[in-house]
Amino acid sequence: MIGLLYKAADAIRARTPGYPLGRRGEDLAHRHLRANGCTVVARNFRTHEGAGEIDLVAWHGETLVFFEVKTRSSREFGEPERAVDLEKRGRIRRAAAQYARRADVAWEHTRFDLVSVVLDRPVRIEWIRDAFR
């Protein structure tokens, strides 16, 4: 039953003008991660200084995982994960360090994952564990 509600909500959002592509990808990634055993504890975490943003933060077992979600409408311009360059990784690391410090989680119990979403038919979601360190 809940799956039907999700599909209906996705169909409505897809037709809504101004509904950002990235937001749709984050919604799909959030649902995918929950279905695969993650407990999402934060979305769009930003540092006070504006030094970086983390799309999703979740517990996967005993590990606090910081997720970057990349979404594309098709593979025409390459795989979404290729858009995470060294500068972006640095901003994510700085934000993650701040989050881990506030949550009192040892750095050894953290991980950086990437979720690649391609909105082809059918939608393709790939969870890349330990994408960068």
Which pLDDT score is estimated for 52?
Answer: 85
> Residue 7 has what pLDDT?
56
What is residue 66's predicted lDDT score, i.e. its pLDDT? Answer: 97
Round the average pLDDT of the chain to a whole number and report it.
Answer: 86
In a domain, 80, yes or no: yes
Residue 125 has pLDDT above 80, yes or no: yes
> How large a percentage of the chain has pLDDT more than 90?
58
Angle CA(121)–CA(69)–CA(129) in degrees, nearest 5? 100
What per-residue confidence (pLDDT) applies to 22?
Answer: 84
Among the listed residues 104, 112, 117, the one whose alpha carbon sits nearest the alpha carbon of residue 52:
112
**Mean pLDDT for the stretch of residues 98-120:** 95
Q: Is the pLDDT of residue 34 over 70?
A: yes
- Over residues 10-15, the mean pLDDT reads 55
Selection from 91, 78, 107, 110 nearest residue 45 by Cα:
91
Residue 103 in domain: yes
CATH code (residue 27): 3.40.1350.10
In a domain, 11, yes or no: no
Average pLDDT over residues 19-43: 92
User: CA-CA distance, 25 to 133, in Å (whole number)?
Assistant: 23
Kindly report, residue by residue over 57-91, the tens digit of the pLDDT.
999 999 999 999 998 887 777 776 777 888 889 99
Total residue count of the chain as it appears in this document: 133
97 or 16: which carries more pLDDT confidence? 97
Q: Is 1 a domain residue?
A: no
Task: Average the pLDDT over 91-95 and give the result.
Answer: 92
Model pLDDT, residue 8: 56
Domain region containing 35: 20-128
Instruction: Give a yes or no: residue 95 inside a domain.
Output: yes
Do 96 and 76 form a contact (C-beta atoms < 8 A)?
A: no
